[in-house]
């Protein structure tokens, strides 16, 4: 009779990685796969627990119809803080798998701290984070859907400050925040910074500097969304104690800017471009009414000093927002 040969373990791991890359948001494919063999459990958990979302919604078009019959809360796809605390108390090793953390914060102390006193301590176990998103808590009732840093409970503030300076962190996204950016110690290995409706409190207006930072933050990707002209300007002007720029854009590969205010947003993008030496892609998004003005401005103002730029239309985004990118 023919003998059955087992697949090499490294081949099985590659199969798991392929399944994990194309899996549903709720890991419907990997979860049953992880139960087939104990030796595969670790490889599966790397994908199942890679992303933790608390207090933020998930796009419904990311969820398969089969998942809509699940009893879990799929509208927010969040792990309740109480459940996360229980999970980490019973299975503390799960924290080593978390690479992406998306966190919706609130100014209400009862949201996380009072009802779950261990919550902040649990979040500090995510010491291998590579990507961190800070946003306003979903359906929190905040005016204009923006949260003030001063309103965030102190234990949560301290946890955020801990996470954004992790040596493993390479990507930081901030949305809907009024945050004292230049009083925060950012990770030395941060290469991707995305901001959307982020403002610096008025008391920080003026010359910005990181008094304790020795080396600049070298960005490879920068994205500026709604109402970020002043914040982008402050980032460009920020300095180190030795008068070098705090943010180094010379190695920037990818730049995205949402154009809501013309010409201010376009000028801010131009200022960023002037600092670059390796820019590969430029994406501008705008309402259709600004399209003609952006085209005219792009012909004279959005050229890289290192190579000519051509802005051409690509995929149309929701709400009829045209997008442009550099054509090689």
Would you state the pLDDT for residue 327? 41
Percent of the chain with pLDDT over 70: 70
Eight-state DSSP code of residue 144 = G
Residue range 4-57, pLDDT digits in tens: 567 777 877 787 777 777 766 666 677 777 777 777 788 888 888 888 888 886
Smallest CA-to-CA distance from 200 within 238, 157, 253, 256 is with 238
Percent of the chain with pLDDT over 90: 30
Residue 177: φ, ψ to 5°: -125, 145
pLDDT band at 186 (very low <50, low <70, confident <90, very high): very high
59 within 8 A of 32, measured Cβ to Cβ: no
Least reliable range by pLDDT among 116-130, 208-222, 289-303: 289-303
Residue range 259-293, pLDDT digits in tens: 887 788 888 989 999 999 999 988 888 765 555 55
Is the pLDDT score of 129 beyond 70?
yes
List Cβ neighbours of 118 (8 Å cut-off, separation of 6 or more).
85, 89
pLDDT band at 326 (very low <50, low <70, confident <90, very high): very low
Least reliable range by pLDDT among 83-92, 134-143, 288-297: 288-297
pLDDT band at 328 (very low <50, low <70, confident <90, very high): very low
Residue range 59-68, pLDDT digits in tens: 444 444 343 3
The pairs formed by 5-10 with CB atoms below 8 angstroms and a separation of 24 or more are: 9/39
Is the pLDDT score of 207 beyond 60?
no
Mean pLDDT of the chain: 77
Q: Who has greater pLDDT, 317 or 172?
A: 172
Using CB atoms within 10 Å of the CB of residue 44, give its burial: 0 to 12 exposed, 13 to 18 middle, 19+ buried.
buried
Domain residue extents for the chain: 8-48, 51-166, 170-328
58 within 8 A of 77, measured Cβ to Cβ: yes
Q: Which helix (H) or strand (E) holds 218?
A: strand 217-218
The pairs formed by 305-312 with CB atoms below 8 angstroms and a separation of 24 or more are: 305/273, 305/274, 306/276, 306/277, 306/278, 306/279, 309/282, 311/282, 311/284
Would you state the pLDDT for residue 204? 52
């Amino acid at each position: 009779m023919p003998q059955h040969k087992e697949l090499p373990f490294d081949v099985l791991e590659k199969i798991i990685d392929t399944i994990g890359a194309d899996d549903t948001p709720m890991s419907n494919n990997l979860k049953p796969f992880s139960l087939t063999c104990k030796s595969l459990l670790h490889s599966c958990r790397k994908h199942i627990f890679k992303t933790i979302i608390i207090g933020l919604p998930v796009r419904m078009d990311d969820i398969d119809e089969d998942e809509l019959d699940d009893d879990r809360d799929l509208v927010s796809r969040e792990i309740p803080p109480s459940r996360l605390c229980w999970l980490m108390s019973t299975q503390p090793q799960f924290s080593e798998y978390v690479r992406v953390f998306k966190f919706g914060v609130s100014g209400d102390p009862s949201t996380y701290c009072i009802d779950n006193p261990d919550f902040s301590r649990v979040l500090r176990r995510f010491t291998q984070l590579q990507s961190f998103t800070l946003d306003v808590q979903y359906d929190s009732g905040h005016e204009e859907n923006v949260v003030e840093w001063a309103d965030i409970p102190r234990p949560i503030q301290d946890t955020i400050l801990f996470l954004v300076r992790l040596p493993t962190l390479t990507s930081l996204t901030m949305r809907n925040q009024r945050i004292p950016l230049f009083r925060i110690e950012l990770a030395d290995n941060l290469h991707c910074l995305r901001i959307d409706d982020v403002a610096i409190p008025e008391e920080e207006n003026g010359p910005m500097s990181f008094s304790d930072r020795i080396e600049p933050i070298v960005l490879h990707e920068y994205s500026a969304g709604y109402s970020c002209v002043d914040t982008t300007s402050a980032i460009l002007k920020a300095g180190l104690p030795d008068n070098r720029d705090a943010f180094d854009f010379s190695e920037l590969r990818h730049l995205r800017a949402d154009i809501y205010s013309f010409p201010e947003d376009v000028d801010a993008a131009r200022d960023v471009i002037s600092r670059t030496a390796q820019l590969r892609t430029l994406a501008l998004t705008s309402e259709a009414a600004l399209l003609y003005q952006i085209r005219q401005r792009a012909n004279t103002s959005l050229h890289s000093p290192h190579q000519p730029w051509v802005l051409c239309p690509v995929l149309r985004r929701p709400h009829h927002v045209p997008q442009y990118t550099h054509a090689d």
